[in-house]
Amino acid sequence: MTTRHFLRDDDLTPAEQARLLDLAAEMKALPYSRRPLAGPRSVAMIFDKPTLRTQVSFGAGIAELGGNPLLVEGRLAGIGVRESVEDVARVLGRQVAVVVWRTFHQTDLDTMAAHAGVPVVNALTDEFHPCQLIADLLTVREHLGGLAGRTVAFVGDAACNMGSSWLLAGTTAGMHVRVSAPDGYAPEPAVVERACEIAAATGGSAAFVPDPGTAVEGADVVVTDTWISMGKEAEEDARAAVLAPYSLTPDLVARARPGAIVLHCLPAYRGKEIAAEVLDGPQSVVWDEAENRRHAQKAVLAFLLEESR
Ligand code: NVA
């Protein structure tokens, strides 16, 4: 038996990503049509960092799939503190059908996956946020009619999980991904390299474009993320100073193609990484994007359970 996990965006082949997006769209249209967790079987949701959208969308989505969402408080569980990640994985795998984990280090998630014996889903790490990207791609598909060949500009702190996930997931979808950031906030070279490798097979592309105006020029999709990722709060002032020219202002967004859409995974800080007029304006699709977390993650869970049989 093979156990499939969703730990980073490139765990899915282009064909699998497309299938998963189709499934997410189907589940959005018919929310109770598939019940792979009927029984109910439980899904452990563990959060070592703050959460709103992820906790609620997984909880509601698991219930819609016929399952039991089991919230595991990270601080009480003390994973890697009271007992090793390996031992926690072995215990959880005997109790639940899937483990969903938001934590700091990707390596810990890899360890969980290696020992759980059930699918493990990345609900955000410092390195990647792949569930968010399925929701984002679903949102782009809904608004622009397709993904391959579209250009996306990710502007801001590109060294964070969202920058890396856009590079991998966007190129998997055959998109042209431009990432724009100041010195010190550029994407990980290994991630750019991997994105270029994926793009070579899908017809997409990946490029680091330091100037934000050049990156946004003619883009179909403009994306940003908070400048203060969870855990970076102490760097708030330093980050705001360096990242200020990368704020999604109306002038910057006006350089995208007419009808371009604006995404933000939230939480958003108006007047920082995105102007209020942009976040709350007609090009913003952030509330659809937030809703789509549920549909996307239901598809992820159904896909992994199906593939792990
Ligand atoms: N980069 C952000 C994403 C929040 C959903 C963070 O890690 O806090």
Q: Which of 265, 294, 295, 297 is catalytic?
A: 265
- 226, 232, 239, 265: residue to mutate for ligand 1 pocket, most atoms within 8 A of CB: 226
- Report CA(257)–ligand 1 centroid distance (Å): 27
Q: Whole-angstrom Cα distance, residue 55 to residue 19?
A: 24
Mean pLDDT over 185-203 rounds to: 97
pLDDT at 115: 98
pLDDT at 19: 98
CA-closest residue to ligand 1 atom 3: 229
Using CA atoms of 130, 55, 78, 268 in order, give the dihedral in degrees to the nearest 10: 70
In 10 A of CB 160, how many CB atoms? 23
Q: Which of 5, 53, 102, 178 is catalytic?
A: 102
- Report CA(206)–ligand 1 centroid distance (Å): 21
**pLDDT at residue 162 greater than cutoff 90:** yes
CB neighbour list of residue 75: distance below 8 Å, 6 or more residues apart: 48
In the sheet that 151-155 helps form, which strands lie side by side, from edge to edge?
205-208, 176-180, 151-155, 221-224, 261-264
The tokens describing 71, both together, are 């919230």
pLDDT at 74: 86
Q: Whole-angstrom Cα distance, residue 132 to residue 297?
A: 9
- Report CA(230)–ligand 1 centroid distance (Å): 6
- Report CA(2)–ligand 1 centroid distance (Å): 31
Q: Which residues line ligand 1 (CB under 6 A)?
A: 129, 160-162, 225-226, 229-230, 265
Name the nearest CA neighbour of 186 among 214, 141, 215, 155.
155
Per-residue pLDDT tens for 48-82?
999 999 999 999 999 999 999 999 998 899 999 99
Q: For all residues of the chain together, what is the average pLDDT? A: 97
- Report CA(171)–ligand 1 centroid distance (Å): 21
* C-beta of residue 163 within 8 angstroms of C-beta of residue 195: no
Give yes or no: 108 in active site. Answer: no
Give yes or no: 297 in active site. Answer: no
Q: Whole-angstrom Cα distance, residue 81 to residue 99?
A: 18
Q: Grade residue 175 by pLDDT with cuts at 50, 70 and 90.
A: very high
Name the nearest CA neighbour of 101 among 125, 132, 117, 123.
123
- Report CA(82)–ligand 1 centroid distance (Å): 26
Give yes or no: 94 in active site. Answer: no
Per-residue pLDDT tens for 135-155?
999 999 999 999 999 999 999
pLDDT at 309: 82
CB neighbour list of residue 195: distance below 8 Å, 6 or more residues apart: 167, 168, 170, 171, 177, 206
Q: Whole-angstrom Cα distance, residue 205 to residue 16?
A: 19
What are the start-end ranges of the E strands in 54-125? 68-73, 98-102, 120-122
Give yes or no: 131 in active site. Answer: no
What are the start-end ranges of the E strands in 118-163? 120-122, 151-155
- 54, 58, 126, 161: residue to mutate for ligand 1 pocket, most atoms within 8 A of CB: 161
CA-closest residue to ligand 1 atom 2: 229
* C-beta of residue 46 within 8 angstroms of C-beta of residue 206: no
Closest ligand 1 atom to residue 232 Cα is 8
Q: Which of 9, 225, 239, 283 is catalytic?
A: 225
* C-beta of residue 284 within 8 angstroms of C-beta of residue 260: no
* C-beta of residue 64 within 8 angstroms of C-beta of residue 32: yes
Q: Grade residue 1 by pLDDT with cuts at 50, 70 and 90.
A: confident
